[in-house]
Amino acid sequence: MAEIVLGLAASHGSSTFAPSSTWGFYGERDKRKPYYEEMLAKAGPAMAKEASPEKMEEKFQAGQRAQAQLDEIVTRTSPDVIVVFGDDQHEQFHEDNMPMFCLYRGAAMERGERRRQRDDWKAEGGGTAPPPKRVFEGAPALADHLIERLVEAGIDLACSNALKPAVGLGHAFTHVAENMPSIGERPMLPFMVNTYYPPNQPTASRAYALGQAVRDAIEAWDSDLRVAVMASGGLSHQRIDEELDRAVLDAMERKRPERLRAIPGETLQGGTSEILNWITVAGAMEQMAMTVVDYVPAYRTPAGTGLAMGFAYWTRA
């Protein structure tokens, strides 16, 4: 039977790949948010230091080191295939069709032209040219097995045989595959989760149960393949909430699923909703030990806006 050998979780936002010299561009966008002035009024002088160029570079480098460590762990563990849970942000799905869960069962996935243009922050914030066209290998056999088993387990699941050509593989999957090359060079199974868009976002409890069902399904697969599961995204976005982030990480490390299940939906909105992908993997990996590689609240304005980066892995104790 197939075996889950590794769990992973990593942020995929701009702070994970855009040099700190460009963070000011994203900070200027934050300043246009309706809540910015209120946050600025409440922020103390220490927050201005957190958003200094020196601090931003320090935190960018911390994120790079953490991703390099996860990349090395993937190389060392050498899974045959990686199931990645990530949110689709109006890439494949829009208001005319927004499944809660969708599993991609194609044999290949291309980084589309629109995706490459959107990732090109050169014109807006400085940097490099868009990444070149690239094709990633899918995992259709595992996809079909998971679809069958998850439906039997009562998980209502959409599936997709093709990606929109102009968009290609979504950011939740391309970013982790390119930030950590050992992921991109292996077959990858994109599991799209609607964390962002009401009214059919999964609850935290539903996400945890999905992870448990995915684990059971993988372990029932008549195959000798070694599988990794990964959460892409998180942690708190724009309005960084260190208390929430640290509580989530602590609950995962201490194996307190009741605390994860109890997180209210109104807390998990916008980019912060990507914590649901972490909760899903925590459900799948509840029998293994979690190690937090780093937690990096990457502030980019004196008001305390930014992106909280998190990086973790699960292995057998």
**pTM of this structure:** 0.94
The whole-number pLDDT of residue 133 equals 75
Q: Domain range spanning residue 303?
A: 3-315
Whether residue 77 has pLDDT greater than 90: yes
Question: pLDDT tens-digit profile of 135-170?
Answer: 999 999 999 999 999 999 999 999 999 998 888 899
Question: pLDDT tens-digit profile of 83-132?
Answer: 999 999 999 999 999 999 999 999 999 886 544 444 444 444 445 555 56
Q: CATH number of the domain that 262 lies in?
A: 3.40.830.10
Mean pLDDT of 1-18: 94
Two tokens at 26? 């994203």
Two tokens at 29? 């966008």
Split into its structural domains, the chain has a count of 1
Amino acid at 24: G
User: Strand runs (DSSP E) across the chain, as ranges?
Assistant: 3-10, 81-87, 101-104, 108-110, 135-137, 158-160, 188-193, 226-232, 237-239, 289-299, 305-315
The whole-number pLDDT of residue 122 equals 44
Q: Are 180 and 11 in contact (CB under 8 A)?
A: no
The whole-number pLDDT of residue 136 equals 95
The whole-number pLDDT of residue 120 equals 47
Mean pLDDT of 291-303: 97
Mean pLDDT, all residues of the chain: 92
